[in-house]
Amino acid sequence: MHNRLLPTLLIITLLAMVAGFTYVHWSKSGPGAGLYSRDWLPDPVQGYWDPNNFYRSSDSVQGVFEGKQCVQCHEEITPGIVADWRASRHAQGDEKVFCNDCHGGDHQRLHLPTPEVCGSCHNKQQNESEDEARYGFPSHILAMERAVDAPHFADKPKAEVQSCVQCHSVATKCDSCHTRHRFDAAESRRPEACITCHSGPPHPDDTTYFASAHGQIYLAEGKDWDWSKPLTKGNYKAPTCAYCHMDAGRHQVAHKSMWKFGLREINPHTSNNQILRRRWIELCSDCHAEKEAAQWLGELDRERKQAWSMLYMAEAVLKNLRSDQLLQPSAAERPPYPMGSLWPMERIGFYEGQASAFYNVSGIERDYFEMWYFDNLGAYKSAAHGDSAGVKEGHQKMATSLEHIQTKAHKLRQRAATEQETEITPAAPSIWNSGAYTDYNREHN
């Protein structure tokens, strides 16, 4: 009996694995990209954000040109681009990097440079970026797949998701921080290079940095600093985003971070996280005493513990409502959102896929989502970046949200009790069954 069961189990496991791989392969082979590639069609502009997958050359100009010819004609057509290129390092000296070095010479087969194209001359930076994948999410190199693999990317109205790829294209092209066609290292050292993307309520890196002692010094004195210097010890009085996250010009942002965007609780004391923490302390000690830096970062851990104790209380309230079937409408009564969910369920907490609670949820689930995604992440970034007023504000908001959730839960329970007495069950509101985020949208993606 025993020796038959084992091979059977093995075969079933193998078959399941093959089926899994085949399914993933199939789901990635649609006109879009990523896990939901069959559920969305790329707009033409997608070619500029993700050139490797989607760029198609325009074919209105015929001919194969040399660098000087490109410059000559484009001087008329796109003078701004040519002026920026002329001012860049690429146009200095005898060995100029011409338009065709990045775009190709055949005008009907142009390409937009992927990191590989830049990497053919800037090996170090490209290798470092690629190597970042080993730290897992979040990271710059995995950002594009993270966005397009999010169910709400495929399910939301098209107009709203163009912005996702604009920011998440940090993975698929090299001009996010040193913009084309200046490609200026000095530009990328300044916080402005990062905050085009690192802003807004789930990641208020801009406001929290500018409110910190570091940001205040930058605002007061930064205009007089010599930004041509690399980001190494002794060159800057106060750190900028890149000084801290890309120290010594390393083209990685994930090699020190442990808190994973603040979305879930982690244990800062594992041996691996202690290594990451050491890296931070070493960096801070460019300018501070090690001991003091370690204590400041310890404050961040305490802030996180406090935040998570509140978040878990709110999660428990929701989970109890769920097990008493008091979340209305229930997941089974909602349209299948996010896409592809085989087992409709109310997802509470990071590990159940809380991020899908953006839409198509009951009021109280959305309340928790806001507490988790906005109040909590705001508090986290304030603590990480040294904005003490922001920490206080974030925690106050979380406390208010928690109280609100508890009150609402109480009301739901009271209502359920009354309904049981009178035997009236209200119908699920019809808003969930059609609307901007449901049928209409699915037909138009």
Please, which of residues 72-91 interact with ligand HEC by CB under 6 A? 73-74, 77-78, 81-82, 85, 89-90
Choice between 293 and 357, CB closer to ligand HEC: 293
**Which of these segments, 21-29, 120-128, 318-326, 413-421, binds ligand HEC (CB under 6 A)?**
120-128
Choice between 215 and 329, CB closer to ligand HEC: 215
Q: How far is the CB of 341 from ligand HEC (least distance, A)?
A: 16
- 137 touching ligand HEC, by CB under 6 A: yes
Q: How far is the CB of 218 from ligand HEC (least distance, A)?
A: 9
The count of residues in the chain is: 445
Contact (CB, 8 A) for 139 and 147: no
Choice between 106 and 393, CB closer to ligand HEC: 106
**Which of these segments, 18-26, 106-114, 326-334, 391-399, binds ligand HEC (CB under 6 A)?**
106-114
Choice between 78 and 418, CB closer to ligand HEC: 78
Contact (CB, 8 A) for 135 and 255: yes
Q: How far is the CB of 445 from ligand HEC (least distance, A)?
A: 13
331 to 370: interface string for ligand HEC, x by CB under 6 A: ----------------------------------------
Burial grade of 414 (CB within 10 A; 0-12, 13-18, 19 or more)? exposed
Query: Per the structure block, which two tokens stand in for 108?
Result: 């009907």
Query: Per the structure block, which two tokens stand in for 73?
Result: 């004609």
Q: Computed from CA positions of residues 346, 350, 352, 353, in that sequence, does the dihedral angle turn out positive or negative? A: positive
Distance (Å, whole) CA 289 – CA 100: 50
Residue selected from 87, 97, 133, 326 as contacting ligand HEC according to rule CB under 6 A: 97
Distance (Å, whole) CA 63 – CA 78: 18
Choice between 70 and 371, CB closer to ligand HEC: 70
What count of other Cβ atoms lies within 10 Å of the Cβ of residue 97?
Answer: 17
Contact set for ligand HEC, span 363-402 (CB under 6 A)? 384-386
Residue selected from 139, 328, 376, 401 as contacting ligand HEC according to rule CB under 6 A: 139
Choice between 274 and 406, CB closer to ligand HEC: 274
Q: Computed from CA positions of residues 35, 41, 45, 48, in that sequence, does the dihedral angle turn out positive or negative? A: positive
Contact set for ligand HEC, span 251-310 (CB under 6 A)? 251, 253-254, 257-262, 280, 283-284, 286-288, 293, 296-297
Query: Per the structure block, which two tokens stand in for 90?
Result: 């690429």
- 40 touching ligand HEC, by CB under 6 A: no
**Which of these segments, 4-12, 62-70, 322-330, 368-376, binds ligand HEC (CB under 6 A)?**
62-70
Contact set for ligand HEC, span 180-239 (CB under 6 A)? 180-181, 183-186, 188-189, 191, 193-198, 200, 203, 205-206, 209, 213-214, 217, 230-231, 236-239
Choice between 38 and 180, CB closer to ligand HEC: 180
Distance (Å, whole) CA 160 – CA 156: 7
- Long-range contacts (CB closer than 8 Å, 24 or more residues apart) made by 297-302: 299/383, 300/259, 300/383, 300/384, 301/268
Burial grade of 275 (CB within 10 A; 0-12, 13-18, 19 or more)? exposed
Q: Computed from CA positions of residues 273, 277, 279, 280, in that sequence, does the dihedral angle turn out positive or negative? A: positive
Contact (CB, 8 A) for 258 and 273: yes
Q: How far is the CB of 109 from ligand HEC (least distance, A)?
A: 10
Contact (CB, 8 A) for 208 and 382: yes
Contact set for ligand HEC, span 143-162 (CB under 6 A)? 143, 146-147, 150, 152-153, 156, 161
Distance (Å, whole) CA 81 – CA 224: 27
**Which of these segments, 1-9, 140-148, 363-371, 398-406, binds ligand HEC (CB under 6 A)?**
140-148
For ligand HEC (CB under 6 A), the number of binding residues is 121
